[in-house]
Structure 1
């Protein structure tokens, strides 16, 4: 959450002269089709859509104690909502931003929901503290984070990182490298072919529907959350699964139970693809099934 931390710090140290009334926003700028467009908001919402023009268009309204800062560079453009004076409540800003479809996007919110659709850029980053993050895109890399909000992604990405502390995570359509992290929220992932997958949760459940690539590696771990892993019946891999006090059910190989005390484990090898699949839970159940 480096981008989010930097934004919160900038709010703490920003200084401006006096309070103001709410202002309408209507800003247009010409930019390159592959530029980076950044937008940050304290409270309210950020809605980003795309078009075929080499231009950005930001509309909305600032809160009564907020101002819009626009910064342009060779890399792209940044829009930032800041407080004018330090107050317990500075109002909300609802921002609507249209960007080139192939631009890279960075959207950062504190108490702001983030919605992005239509992006086809090299990279997309969306982070919020207490807001939800909802993205529909086909990008090279997607980084999605929320602390207490939910995270939803639909589309495709070659590299995906998604994290929520207490919210749920739902990912559809990704492949390649996938990293999903949750503490108490549940995570659902419907992926295509995964080359490197890391899926972790403390008390939330993990439900994964995917195929591991030849030579790929999947690492799946929870503390008390249950794991459901659905794979093609033809999946070739070296499987291992272990739960200290939970149950294991697998369509791949035979599950063995500890002779003394709780716990069960699985070791099974199918084919010679070089794929490795590791599943662990301390007290949660593990179910490895065919699609």
Structure 2
């Protein structure tokens, strides 16, 4: 072997060993209530949470070099998992955690620069990150998922719950959630699919909105975008009053009535009509974009 290549290989190996040594492995557990609350705080890295049938919370993974300690403690029905970092030093604190919790637990996960993944947890979920993606699976319990810079994905089972998803810069994808949903983005697309709703509020500033689901009797759907198309595809019959408006775009309506100009001096279109008994309410608007509505 060429000596320079050999030296490079040895140096690379040494660096890898050093990095491995600096990242401290963790493997701890504590007893937990079957339907208690688990709070997880990790500033940087990643958090993966999995529900299981055991009566304990287990934490495995790697802690950053400058992390002071992993706090794992129980107070009544609440378990705290916290990566403690130096107050004035944010370097080398990235920690990757895998947390297993009783599947009936409720969750409160907070991060700054970390992705969050949750699976097989049946309780309510509050998931918050500043810079990172959030992906979770909901089982008929309330979910609040927020990111400032990242995508948010919520996958449901069709059971009723309160689902809230927010991001400043990222896309929102909610599939299989039902009951009530709120989705808000500043710069990102919103997709809601495969659900039946009493209430749905979808708002984005720069992005497209796509709704593919059912609206229940007496239900309310609001979809608003400033710059982006809005596509509404209802599954099943709809009974509602419709108010639809776009300033710079077209309106396509499969229910029959045609849109009219808001003014002979302006480019906007508007459409109001009633479908069925009209006991629900559908409000759709965009400033710059097309609107399609069908079933």
TM-score, length of structure 2 as denominator length: 0.87
* 1:163 and 2:162 are equivalent in the alignment: no
Aligned residue for 1:246?
249
Query: Does structure 1 residue 265 correspond to structure 2 residue 270?
Result: yes
Match of residue 183 from structure 1: 186
CA distance in 2, matches of 1:166, 1:112: 15
Shift of 1:29: 1.1
Is the contact between residue 57 and residue 102 of structure 2 (CA under 8 Å) also seen in structure 1? yes
Tell me, yes or no, if the aligned pair for 1:124 and 1:139 is still in contact at 8 Å.
no
Work out whether residues 248 and 255 of structure 1, in 8 Å CA contact, stay in contact via their aligned partners in 2: yes
Between 176-185 and 217-226, report the one with greater CA deviation: 217-226
Q: Distance in 1 between matches of 2:213 and 2:87?
A: 50
- Aligned residues of 2:32 and 2:74 also touching (Cα < 8 A): no
- Equivalent runs, 1:75-224 vs 2, <5 Å: 75-84=77-86, 86-121=88-123, 123-156=124-157, 158-224=161-227
What's the CA shift for 1:91? 3.1
Residue 38 of structure 2: aligned partner: 37
Larger radius of gyration: 2
Shift in Å at residue 201 of structure 1? 0.3
Runs (5+) with no aligned partner, structure 1: 1-20
Q: How many residues are matched?
A: 270
Alignment correspondent of 2:235: 232
Shift of residue 85, structure 1, vs aligned partner: 5.0
Residues 7-51 of structure 1, C-alpha deviations (whole Å, 9 max, x = no match): xxxxxxxxxxxxxx6433222111111100111111111011111
Instruction: Tell me how far 1:233 sits from its aligned partner.
Output: 5.3
Determine the C-alpha separation between the residues in 1 that align with 2:87 and 2:154. Answer: 36
Deviations 1:63-86 (A, max 9, x none): 111122234222311111121252
Q: Is the aligned partner of 1:276 residue 2:281?
A: yes
Detail structure 1 runs of 4+ shifted over 4 Å in the superposition. Answer: none
The verdict on how the C-alpha distance between 1:85 and 1:261 changes in structure 2, with shifts beyond 3 A counting, is closer
In 2, the alpha carbon distance for the partners of 1:112 and 1:273 equals 45
2:182–2:201 contact (8 Å) kept in structure 1: yes
Residue 9 (structure 1) aligns with: none
How many Å separate the matches in 1 of 2:118 and 2:49? 5
Gaps of 5+ in 2: 1-21
Whether the 8 Å contact between 2:30 and 2:73 is mirrored in structure 1 is: no
Aligned equivalents of 2:144 and 2:90: distance in 1?
A: 30
CA–CA distance in structure 2, aligned partners of residues 161 and 88 of structure 1: 30
**Against the structure 1 CA distance between its residues 239 and 85, is the aligned structure 2 distance closer, same or farther, given a 3 Å change threshold?**
closer
Could you say what secondary structure the match of 1:218 adopts? strand
Contact persistence 1:237–1:271 (CA under 8 A): yes
Using the alignment, how far apart are the partners of 1:90 and 1:84 within structure 2?
10
Secondary structure of the corresponding residue to residue 118 of structure 2 = strand
CA contact (8 A) 1:83 1:90 kept: no
Q: Do the aligned partners of residues 142 and 23 (structure 1) sit closer, same or farther apart at CA in structure 2, a change above 3 Å counting? A: same
Distance 1:155 1:212 in 2: 17
Distance 1:88 1:124 in 2: 27
Q: Does the CA contact (< 8 Å) of 1:65 and 1:85 recur in 2?
A: no
| 97-106 or 155-164, which deviates more | 155-164
Are the counterparts in 2 of residues 240 and 267 from structure 1 also a CA contact under 8 Å? yes
